[in-house]
Chain A
């Protein structure tokens, strides 16, 4: 794929942990490679601590990568991202209550990002554009919402505002870090539909970060499953949901709460433990301690990604190779 708008190659981000003299290094993401095509929603799925938010934060330029390359719209990114790149690849944050300045009207922040990122617009055009942005994410009537304060908006409306703000700089890719996980279940679906609308009507790609497989299935074209900082499985949504290959993906499938399914017995799936903190990791598959299929080989060397189909890849020794 050469037409990808984002290519990530062997991206790693480590954090030094512990005290002043500590030699501990937390491997938040380790040699992660993936691509995002135009008008595509890619879901990054994993538990807390799997490194999914770290990837988004590195891409957004909130901290530099430890190693690896980020090629965005054909340009290799340096350690600092420019305002132009941040505008083309904005981020929507998880917490709609913490990410919006409560003392300023909705219009203030929206018009300000238009002023910064769209110097071609004059004052009247900016206002018209702001109203249109709000209406494109379902905040109606836009002119009215522009005058409101954030506290007058519900959580779902604030998250829509987050997307409107991201859209203001005419992005090609929106980084959405768990945009619905703090919202009520009944409101989530509206936001998921907003993301689908952005892809279908505005031709924006979305990197959708979530721990919820069901919502990822609903919006995403492709899915990337992360465990302890590494990609364990990748494929189209139909492949990953229809034929989950990695034991960890199967664990996520089995624990997804779904009243329409009988309760999966815990004995069929891997240990319901917790993902490890990856400090100074040794060799071997990081899922091995919880894995029902673990073999001797898994403990001593790290499995590499193998293709199961042109689009599906998995990193696991126990998976039969085609």
Chain B
């Protein structure tokens, strides 16, 4: 495997709340290879977006990165000053936010917003900016006449594609995407995922993609991480995790959405709510909702143990060695 473009080690993020420090990201580690597509799925509040923001160094109070490192091409982003970070943003790492309706400026045309990003991060002249703007819009199948359009003149799917065009401007090595498909309906979702897939093959950037709907990424991501209460509970090749989920939580998520094929069956979802992150219970964080939980699970916190490319955090999968 080539050198990872991103190495995250033991990343910890805390929120300051009136009840105390809430650990939203509790020691996440992973590597991302160049050109790889890693999807992170989990329920609202599991810390997936917080983790992305922490990787991109975009957290603001009350959230704070309190530990760990984010190595991008060997440079630890957590130690950089804002000015040094600016050199890497957009050029090396760009971010596509969840809601394109709010992320785009409603008072500026798409072209003006693309030009704005270029001027902030390059010394290109107007001619070069216009050329590149037209180029990236074409890449995401938006007609160049829309350079003059305002966000309200575009449909939801086109706005989200325009956001991706903007992220592509300076050919970054890594694009971070925070639920880009969640405001779209199914046909637009499919066409956006297809677009991301084709661009990634063509341009070779890596993708870190967060979503609560794992069915969206099932056919597009290389690897899948399932996140629960600030921790990865399972990480492996996407197809394998889907076909043979090993953590009870992944299994529950898989059974939580109805299908258009197969026998119509009664679904129950996962009963219960995620634990409080302020004073999390001892033992496995999923134990209170887990139908397989044993006394051991309630007492000892399981580790994320990797075996042949599949990492699982569960005592039932990785029996505890007692000495």
Contacts and interface: CB of A to CB of B under 8 A. Distances in A.
Interface stretch (B30-38, B123-131, B262-270): B262-270
Contact of A259 (B155, B194, B242, B268): B242
A184 interface: yes
Given A47-B185, A257-B215, A260-B262, A186 B253 contact: yes
A48 B187 CA distance: 10
B3 interface: no
B259 interface: yes
B190 to A, nearest CB: 4
Interface string B161-200: 0000000000000000000000001111111001000000
A189 interface: yes
A185 B182 CA distance: 11
B44 A184 contact: yes
B219 A272 contact: no
A272 B194 contact: yes
Interface centre among A48, A258, A259, A266 (most CB of B within 10 A): A259
A186 B256 contact: yes
Interface in B238-277: 242, 252-254, 256-262, 264, 267-270, 273
B151 to A, nearest CB: 16
B260 A274 contact: no
Contact of A258 (B189, B253, B259, B273): B259
B218 interface: yes
A155 B273 CA distance: 12
Contacts, number: 109
Interface centre among A155, A253, A258 (most CB of B within 10 A): A258
A256 B186 contact: yes
A189 B190 contact: no
A190 B216 CA distance: 20
Given A261-B261, A274-B157, A252 B187 contact: yes
A15 interface: no
Contacts of B256: 185-186, 188-189
A85 interface: no
Nearest to A187: B269
Nearest to A215: B258
A47 B218 contact: no
Interface in A198-225: 211-215, 217-218
Interface string A119-159: 00000000000000000000000000000000000110000
B296 to A, nearest CB: 26
A190 B156 CA distance: 28
B187 A257 contact: no
B95 interface: no
Contacts of A189: 256-258, 267-269
A279 interface: no
Contacts of B304: none
Contacts of A188: 256-257, 269
Given A185-B214, A186-B269, A257-B190, A274 B155 contact: yes
B43 interface: yes
B142 to A, nearest CB: 12
A214 B253 contact: no
Interface string A279-296: 000000000000000000
B212 interface: yes
A251 interface: yes
B285 to A, nearest CB: 15
A47 B270 CA distance: 29
Contacts of B257: 185, 188-189, 214-215
Interface string A234-262: 00000001000000000111011111110
Contact of B261 (A192, A193, A211, A258): A258
Interface string A38-79: 000000000111000000000000000000000000000000
B303 interface: no
Nearest to A255: B190
26 contacts: A47-B185, A47-B186, A47-B187, A47-B188, A48-B155, A48-B185, A49-B155, A184-B43, A184-B44, A185-B214, A185-B215, A186-B252, A187-B269, A188-B257, A188-B269, A189-B257, A189-B268, A192-B258, A214-B259, A256-B260, A257-B215, A258-B261, A259-B215, A260-B261, A272-B190, A274-B155
Given A213-B260, A215-B258, 17 more contacts: A47-B186, A185-B213, A188-B269, A189-B256, A190-B269, A217-B258, A241-B260, A252-B187, A257-B186, A258-B260, A259-B254, A260-B259, A260-B261, A260-B262, A261-B260, A263-B219, A272-B191
**Smallest CB-CB A-B distances: 10 pairs:** A259-B218, A218-B258, A211-B185, A189-B269, A257-B215, A255-B190, A272-B191, A263-B219, A214-B258, A186-B256
